[in-house]
Amino acid sequence: MTPAAETGSSVVDLRGISKSFPGVKANDDISFDVRAGEVHSLLGENGAGKSTLMGILSGIQTPDSGQISVDGKPVRIDSPRKALDLGIGTVYQHSTLIPALSVLENLMLGDSGKLRLDAASARTRLEEFGTILGVEVDPEARAADLALGRQQQVEIIKALWRGSRLLILDEPTSMLTPQAVAELYTVLGRLKSEGLATIFITHKLHEAVSLGDRISVLRRGRMVGTLDAEAVASTPPAELEEIVIEMMFGGAAESLTDAAELRVKVEEAEPAEVRQRPDHAVGEPLLELIGASAPGAGTDPGVEDVDLVLHEGEVLGVAGVDGNGQRALAEAIGGQRRLRAGEIRLFGAPIGRLNVMKREKLGLHYLTDDRIGEGIVGGLSISLNLFLKRIGQPPYWRYGSVRKRAIDERAEELCKQFDVRAPGVETRAGTLSGGNMQKVLLARELSFGAKVVVFHKPTYGLDLKTTLAVREMIRQLRDGKAALVISTDLDELLEVSDRILVLSRGRIVGEAEPGPGAAERIGGMMIGDVSLSLAGAEEAA
């Protein structure tokens, strides 16, 4: 790491940055700076302009106007390489490590400009970083074998490898266990004391508040404001969160829907543990898995001997670190994967032999986590995408022929009901934003006689507004229906679920009810006996 600039001086300073795309002003006269030895939290919804701003800093995009200075000297960042040369390192939300390569090889990729790779000095350098960050990484371990938290540590080292002074973290906690988050906090603390400047992008209010020395809020491409270090330090967290909510969603509610959202947002700002959940009667078992085992596919593991009961009026959460059998569980219930052993019952009747369409007709719907990969067909219209699970069924197909008008009319109703924003139902689904795509899928899975809905990572990658809307839809299923929510976001499960099962290595390893201390208990169960990240977690605790 290069010697840090004097603490408190601006490492990077943006003045009047504007960037337009056809039809939208993504960044509008934004000024922003990061100082050495501070964590600067950046909040804002999707589309608020964070990604563009970070893109500009990391050299992926160039601003239309405005001035960027590094260490007080004006610079032009016109390529990612230039950004790295200037000491700006970025850690993206998704891993950019090459799974088949070792940690050391991944890191040395950054040196690929040189003719000869110097493994020995790279090893020494990795050790140095390990000491600074307080983590121990095996240089020979394959990236694919590392736990997600550990992978992220490698990503951070990779971002700092060429001597960065500014580290940009894009939603770093979204995939981590509570223990791994604690570890990340420690790492960031150490980097801070080394004089590194950090930009911390997040959707999660409490993280922004607890980690940030300063907090900035973007909204619709404009900088709403920055809370300076003094204000952040002197205000109690709860009050701070309310100020930030005010900044994000703004003054008086602009419309009725906004008002409703604001109410939910304040609710969300409260820690999940202390919120009272309304008592409600839990009814008959609707969905039962008895000793169910389903095979894995490729690198994604199967599930073994799963017992679970989902009652009417219940929201049952399934927590777990990604890649512990979530997909196998969801697909086995949805009908995309046959059980190898055990039984699955819907309304008391075995459905193990029924295919997806038959389960759909019975009211068992599955909302996939892979929107683009398997949820929608990008080249087809929104209308057709809404009806993909009922191709050929009356009244939308009659005498083997499609009734386009019936489909379009119903599609228009659904788009209205689920607030899908698109020029029309004829719009190709592939051109929609992630949030609108998810709404199309929700419309498909929550309508047409849905009774039991399996949600797989229902809010993954969505902005706060859509996230809250989706969670509200899940909660509404308590009304005579039932939901199984499989998610890697523990906060989300604590918020929506009545009970939470914990999935680890393809098995249900425990159950908890949301309440004080639940997050820690569940986090412990999630990791189970995998000791890989436990050592670090203990240290962090």
Partner 1 sequence: MSTVPGNELLTEVEVPSRAGARSGALGKALDTTIRSLVPVLLALVAGGLLLVILGHDPFAFYSSVWEHGAQGKAWQESAKRMAPLLLIAVGLIVAFRANIWNLGYNGQFLLSAAVISGLAPSLVNDLPLGLAFLIMFVVAGLVGAIWTIVPALLKAFYETNEIITTLMMSFIGVGLAQILIKGPFQDPSVNIAQTKVLELNKMLPHIPGTKVHIGVLVALAAAVVVYLVISRTAFGLKIDVLGANPRAARHVGIQVKQLVITSFFFSGALIGLAAAADILGVWGYIRANWNPAYGDTVIPFVFLARLNPLVVIPFIAFFAVLSTGGTLATQEVGLPTDFLLVLVALILLFMTVIEFLGRRRSLGQSYLPNGLRAALRLPGAKKREQEAAG
- Length in residues, the chain: 541
Among 43-51, 149-157, 299-307, 473-481, the segment contacting partner 1 (CB under 8 A): 43-51
Among 209-217, 283-291, 309-317, 396-404, the segment contacting partner 1 (CB under 8 A): 396-404
Nearest distance, CB of residue 166 and partner 1, angstroms: 16
- Rule CB under 8 A: say whether 261 interacts with partner 1: no
Contacting partner 1 within 442-461 (CB under 8 A): 461
* 66 to 95: interface string for partner 1, x by CB under 8 A: ------------------------x-x---
Nearest distance, CB of residue 481 and partner 1, angstroms: 20
DSSP labels, 113-167: TSSS--HHHHHHHHHHHHHHHT----TTSBGGGS-HHHHHHHHHHHHHTTT-SEE
DSSP 19: E
Q: Specify whether the CB–CB gap between 487 and 141 falls below 8 A.
A: no
Among 144-152, 252-260, 270-278, 428-436, the segment contacting partner 1 (CB under 8 A): 428-436
Candidates 434, 451, 491, 532: give the one binding partner 1 (CB under 8 A). 434
DSSP labels, 73-109: EEE---SHHHHHHTTEEEE-SS--S-TTSBHHHHHHG
Structure tokens at 441: 């899928």
- Rule CB under 8 A: say whether 8 interacts with partner 1: no
Candidates 11, 32, 33, 58: give the one binding partner 1 (CB under 8 A). 58
Torsion of CA 444, 303, 153, 84, to 10 degrees: -40
Candidates 209, 376, 453, 518: give the one binding partner 1 (CB under 8 A). 376
For residue 241, how far is the Cα from the chain centroid? 20
Structure tokens at 299: 């690198």
State which residue, 193 or 355, has the beta carbon closest to partner 1.
355
In angstroms, the CA 280 to CA 478 distance is 8
Count of residues in contact with partner 1, rule CB under 8 A:
54
State which residue, 82 or 123, has the beta carbon closest to partner 1.
82
Among 48-56, 186-194, 291-299, 516-524, the segment contacting partner 1 (CB under 8 A): 48-56
Closest residue by Cα to residue 152 from 175, 122, 123: 175
- Rule CB under 8 A: say whether 41 interacts with partner 1: no
Among 66-74, 238-246, 256-264, 366-374, the segment contacting partner 1 (CB under 8 A): 366-374
Site of tokens 């006996």: 529
State which residue, 18 or 433, has the beta carbon closest to partner 1.
433
Contacting partner 1 within 466-525 (CB under 8 A): none
* 92 to 131: interface string for partner 1, x by CB under 8 A: x---------------------------------------
Nearest distance, CB of residue 444 and partner 1, angstroms: 9
Q: At what angle do helices 464-476 and 434-446 cross, to 10 degrees?
A: 10
- Rule CB under 8 A: say whether 65 interacts with partner 1: no
Residues with Cβ < 8 Å from 377, sequence gap 6 or more?
Answer: 384, 385, 388, 429, 430
Q: Specify whether the CB–CB gap between 481 and 452 falls below 8 A.
A: yes
- Rule CB under 8 A: say whether 26 interacts with partner 1: yes
The pair phi, psi for residue 17, each rounded to 5°, is -75, 130
Which residues partner with 501 through β-bridges?
A: 318, 511
Nearest distance, CB of residue 362 and partner 1, angstroms: 12
Nearest distance, CB of residue 519 and partner 1, angstroms: 27
Element (H or E) spanning 344, and its range? strand 341-346
- Rule CB under 8 A: say whether 380 interacts with partner 1: yes
- Rule CB under 8 A: say whether 368 interacts with partner 1: yes
Q: Specify whether the CB–CB gap between 308 and 486 falls below 8 A.
A: no
DSSP 300: B
Candidates 372, 530, 535, 541: give the one binding partner 1 (CB under 8 A). 372
Among 156-164, 314-322, 340-348, 352-360, the segment contacting partner 1 (CB under 8 A): 352-360
In this structure, the strands spanning 507-512 and 499-504 are antiparallel
Q: Specify whether the CB–CB gap between 506 and 302 falls below 8 A.
A: yes
Contacting partner 1 within 135-174 (CB under 8 A): 170
Residues lying near partner 1 in the complex (CB under 8 A): 21-24, 26, 46-47, 49, 51-52, 54-55, 58, 60-62, 90, 92, 170, 334-336, 355-357, 359-360, 368, 370-380, 384, 388-389, 391-392, 397, 400-402, 423, 431-434, 461
